[in-house]
Amino acid sequence: MKKIALIIDDDQNNLLLEKDLLEVAGFEVFVAENASSGIALAIQEMPDIIIMDMRLPDMRGSEAAKILLKKKETQHIPIVFVTASVLAEGIEEINAIPNTSFIGKPINTRTFARDVLQCIR
């Protein structure tokens, strides 16, 4: 059975690159360009994993993650933040949210799909 991934990112280049890498690795991929759409899509599609940018146009990725964690139907879905915000405070913010991890930008195209797959429990 295919794994399902949801990518939430407002940068089209990042979105398409991550989508292509995951599809080549056998994932079924859904995409959203803002947190609100991503939250709705997560509830609708119930992905195995959510890949999310930290800086989104309508709210921070960390806020969207907290909303998803409060919802019974999505609280079990692991979230991977793909972000350039890997400074100490950014890492602390991510580590404070249960069931999350991060991959720094720029991503390694050779290992991205494998890294995402390892985050699925």
The C-alpha atoms of residue 25 and residue 38 are separated, in whole angstroms, by 22
**pLDDT number for residue 94:** 74
4-118 carries CATH number 3.40.50.2300: yes
**Per-domain boundaries in the chain:** 4-118
Beta bridge partners of 30: 6
**pLDDT number for residue 27:** 98
* Residue-by-residue pLDDT tens, the chain, 121 positions: 799 999 999 999 999 999 999 999 999 999 999 999 999 999 999 999 999 998 899 999 999 999 999 999 999 999 999 987 655 556 677 767 878 888 988 999 999 999 999 999 6
Other beta carbons within 10 Å of 64: 25
**pLDDT number for residue 121:** 66
**pLDDT number for residue 79:** 95
